[in-house]
Structure 1
Amino acid sequence: MKKYIVFFVLILSVALVGLIVLKTYLGSKTDIRSKKDTIEALVFKTETGFGYRISYNNKVLIKQDYIPAIQNNQAFCNFDDAQKVADLVKEKLNRNENPKISLIELKNLEVQLTCPD
């Protein structure tokens, strides 16, 4: 009788672990894929430099014509700087975080804050 109880508990444990692993794998795979497919970051040219737009399901969530977190209305000096910040905002949204950008983050990304004339 003791053998049957041990065997039953063992089978139940294996089944439970299998279900947890399967649910975790399928759940994370579909969540990540759907977010990556629907949140888009696009860099665009402005009159004075570059900006970026973040869209979700083809609806604009954020349109940023200027470098965030600085006082004056300064456009990004180059495409790459706008892309780095847009990618960071997209990552934050994918992690369900506040997409606000700080001056420290701009410095860490080495974004040029003033453009040469």
Structure 2
Amino acid sequence: MKTKVFGYIILIVVCVTIGVFAAKQYMFSNQEKINPLTTEVYAVKNGYGYRIKLNENILIQQNFIPAAYGKKGFKTRTEAQTIANLVVQKLLAKSSPTVTMEDLKNNQIHIQ
């Protein structure tokens, strides 16, 4: 009797372990399908710019601060990443990826 109960417990533990492992694999394998957009920050002559890629294809390449007068790069990598993330959010929401002066101000982007 004890052997039978022990066997059922082992079987349940194995099934739960397999289920958890399969769920993790499914979540990680579908992560790119959920958000196929990636960002990349890079140095430019006068600061930093960003790229947004869709499945490794460049969708947007921004060498300077959008909406700002002149063609000046972002002052820091963090600023460029912040706006790249904002643009990705807009794209995922199926809205225009246009960056406005208000977006820059709300994200505390320094424009010289």
Same fold (TM over 0.5): yes
Alignment of 1:59-98 (within 5 A): 59-98=57-96
Name the CA distance, whole Å, in 1 between partners of 2:106 and 2:79: 12
Structure 1 counterpart SS, 2:98: coil
Is 1:41–1:55's contact at 8 Å kept on the other side of the alignment? yes
Partner of 2:98: 100
Structure 2 counterpart SS, 1:112: coil
> Gaps spanning 5+ residues in structure 2: where?
1-26
Length, aligned pairs only: 83
- TM-superposed deviation, 1:73: 0.5
Name the CA distance, whole Å, in 2 between partners of 1:79 and 1:63: 15
Backbone CA RMSD of aligned residues: 1.5
- TM-superposed deviation, 1:76: 0.4
> Gaps spanning 5+ residues in structure 1: where?
1-28
Q: Which runs of 4+ in 1 moved over 2 A?
A: none
- TM-superposed deviation, 1:48: 1.2
Partner of 1:109: 107
The aligned amino acid for 2:38 is E
For residue 43 of structure 1, the aligned residue among 41, 44, 48 is 41
Normalised to the residue count of structure 2, the TM-score between the two structures is: 0.70
- TM-superposed deviation, 1:107: 0.2
Residues 35, 93 of structure 1: alpha-carbon distance in 2 compared, 3 angstrom cutoff: farther
Is 1:52–1:65's contact at 8 Å kept on the other side of the alignment? yes
Is 1:53–1:63's contact at 8 Å kept on the other side of the alignment? yes
